[in-house]
Amino acid sequence: MTGLTISANRKWKIPTMAAVSVFASFLMTDAAFADGPGGIAALGNASGLMQLVPIILIFVVFYFLLIRPQQKQAKKHQQFLNDLKRGTKIVTNGGIHGIITDMDGNVLTLEIAKDVRVKISRNAVAGAVTKDGAVNVETADPKSSSGS
Exposed/middle/buried for residue 140 (C-beta within 10 Å: 0-12, 13-18, 19+): buried
- Name the pLDDT band for 137 (thresholds 50, 70, 90): low
pLDDT digits (tens, 9 = 90+) for 9-34: 555 555 555 555 555 555 555 555 55
CATH label, 83-145, candidates 2.30.30, 3.30.200, 1.25.40, 2.40.50: 2.30.30
pLDDT digits (tens, 9 = 90+) for 35-62: 555 555 555 566 778 889 999 999 999 9
Nearest to 112 by CA among 128, 99, 129, 93: 99
**What pTM value is reported for the model?**
0.56
Exposed/middle/buried for residue 142 (C-beta within 10 Å: 0-12, 13-18, 19+): buried
